[in-house]
Homo-oligomer: A and B are copies of this chain.
Amino acid sequence: MIVILQQDATRAQIDNVIARIEQMGCGVVVSQGEERTIVGIIGNGRRLDPEQIERMDGVDRTVPITRPFKRASRDFHPQDTIVKLNGLAIGGRQLIVMAGPCAVESREQLLETAHAVKAAGAQVLRGGAYKPRTSPYSFQGLGEEGLRILAEARQQTGLLIVTEVIDPHLVPLVSAYADILQIGARNMQNYALLHAVGEAQRPVLLKRGMMSTIEEMLMAAEYILSHGNDRVILCERGIRTFETYTRNAMDISAVPLLKQLSHLPVVADPSHATGMWGLVEPVSRAAVAAGADGLIIEVHPRPEEAVSDGAQSLKPSRFAALLQGLRPVAEAVGRTL
């Protein structure tokens, strides 16, 4: 951390700041510029709270030097993390495709979709049993009944299951059925929930909050990692901007940037990022070309009857065609599908 003093800071104020830093066991290097004094901190500055320093008289602001995330950082873990699960390796050369409906609506709907996405080439089935919905009057999911249907689909198809958990106290129940626990965008900073999945024995798919920075996302991953669960998969799913044509804006740079900053696998969600099924295919191609380790895509046998997010769901035939067209793109960047 660096402390930048105010232009009119007095000698006494500067000495005070230095004393505070040394009291915490850190050393200082003082630079006397033409206009301002700057104090650099030597030693483990993580022990110092920048906000406390900024509130001292004579201090203008502080500048962080080290990134706040540690376990999630590539600096501390240079090799790629590959999340292994039932023969699947997420983060390796092979791309992982997760597909399925937004919500589990019925046994028929889910099984039909599961067989279709399996046939098209997906390895993981998605489907919500607990749905966070903007309106209290909308369908909130089938709950445990939905989990049971997902488990049956796994048995029939061999697909792994990823499903969202929205309450810390449901983590054991959801873990009993699902292979991967999903933290949704609205819960990315629900720390009670992050704590709970950090203690679970399942990999976690962590979706970026729709208005969360990349640093906040990596700090959310840090929560999970710091509670003992090192199998975290990051998911870029679009951020909120001023643009209204699309539901969100896929932050495509986040894909390679997360791979540079962190060792964790990164998948992309083109369905939520765009909100328009007609954009899912080109944005899927873009994500793979940018280096994503996988995709999570909404597929519904009859999108016009879907109880949620129908506008962004693909029919199985379109999904199959999408994967078909994606294969050469994957190969062009040295991946397999």
Chain A residues with a Cβ under 8 A of chain B: 2, 4, 7, 29-36, 38, 40-46, 49, 51-57, 63, 65-66, 68, 75, 132-137, 140, 166-169, 186-187, 189-192, 209-216, 219, 222-223, 226-227, 239-246, 249-257, 260, 273-274, 276-279, 282-283, 285-291, 303-311, 313, 325, 328-329, 331-333
Contacts and interface: CB of A to CB of B under 8 A. Distances in A.
Copy total for this chain: 4
Contacts of A68: 134-135
A80 B53 CA distance: 30
Contacts of A65: 4, 33, 35-36, 38
A273 B226 CA distance: 30
A187 to B, nearest CB: 6
Given A291-B282, A329-B289, A329-B332, A44 B34 contact: yes
Given A63-B2, A66-B35, A169-B169, A279 B253 contact: yes
A42 B35 contact: no
Nearest to A210: B211
Most chain B beta-carbon contacts within 10 A, residue among A41, A166, A186, A313: A186
Contact of A290 (B282, B311, B313, B331): B282
A138 B4 CA distance: 23
A95 B286 CA distance: 16
Nearest to A16: B304
A28 to B, nearest CB: 8
Contacts of A214: 243, 245
A156 to B, nearest CB: 27
| CB-CB nearest 8 A-B residue pairs | A211-B211, A31-B40, A328-B332, A289-B289, A29-B31, A286-B286, A55-B304, A256-B282
A256 B283 CA distance: 8
Contacts of A329: 289, 329, 332-333
Contacts of A273: 253
